[in-house]
Amino acid sequence: MAHFITFLLVLSLSLTFSLLPETASAQLRQNYYAKTCPNVESIVRNAVTQKFRQTFVTVPATIRLFFHDCFVQGCDASVIIQSTGSNKAEKDHPDNLSLAGDGFDTVIKAKQAVDAVPSCRNKVSCADILAMATRDVIALSGGPSYAVELGRLDGLSSTAASVNGKLPHPDFNLNQLNSMFAAHGLTQTDMIALSAAHTVGFSHCSKFSNRIYNFSRQSAVDPTLNRAYATQLQQMCPKNVDPRIAINMDPNTPRAFDNVYYKNLQQGKGLFTSDQVLFTDKRSKPVVNAWAANSNTFNSAFITAITKLGRVGVKTGRNGNSRRNCDAFN
């Protein structure tokens, strides 16, 4: 009997633990603020649109901020927290130093706009505002619009140490990309779809200079790189280039969120190794070809992937709160 009771206890514990992540994401729903702040989505959209009109950088900066947030401790706005004398926060980890200030500013401006409505003040989390702002910048730049699930709370910790090994690097191969995304319940198809955020991104030369100057003993230039494109990159990024110089990741339609990203890969114009590998690896190549040919198929796969991304590591209950200021704990 004692063994049976122990078995039941273990079973109930294992069920509890296996349900934990699901329970958090199950709390997310599209009309989460219907009673507390019914106009939250239009308030955020207006603030984001205003910021977008000031600078296009708003688009890639906000999307990247969302991704870097969700991949480290989940989608909990912990990446926005400022470091203090006693705590070095996520945003000051080397992998996050290139996050553009316009992404942070977009969330902070949208939060101010939400809190300017008395009934909404301190009711809407920064994590949800970042999720909404991401959807809005994608739509503003010509990408698909989609319904955002809401109900995330803001995280209670943010440390630079927690970023170690959690973000993909430009030199990753397909196995490395797949295992990193799989750790968050994202499939290879999701990974290929989310990589298309590079259709509006920009990069500093140092992130890919090895592909155009010192790729291997056999070849200074990466042989998977389009020759004319490689020459163009060398002109834009000479060897002793100013480290602040950034170039468009999509050489053809850098200000449009579109499937041209995949057409570029077909031509050997993926800027990072981690981009081009999606076409050179036979396991992912068919998806690249399908989405290069059909933007509707890509759009629906992207919506599925970014919705799943938004469910990663969601904080609920006592594991989070709604911050009064997005860049500081309450």
Annotated binding site for substrate: 168
Residue numbering of the annotated binding site for Ca(2+)? 69, 72, 74, 76, 78, 90, 199, 250, 253, 258
Residue type, 40: V
- 13 three-state secondary structure: helix
> DSSP per residue over 15-82, as a string?
HHHHHHHHHHHHT-BTTTTTTT-TTHHHHHHHHHHHHHHH-TTHHHHHHHHHHHHHTTTSSSSGGGPP
Cβ-in-10-Å burial (0-12, 13-18, 19+) of 235 comes to exposed
184 token code pair: 């968050």
Residues in binding site for heme b = 198
Pairing mode, strands 246-248 and 202-204? antiparallel
Active site residue 68: yes
Q: Which of 3, 68, 93, 169 is catalytic?
A: 68
CA distance 118 to 81: 24
Contact assessment for residue 299 and residue 144, using Cβ atoms and an 8 Å cutoff: yes
Catalytic residue numbers read 68
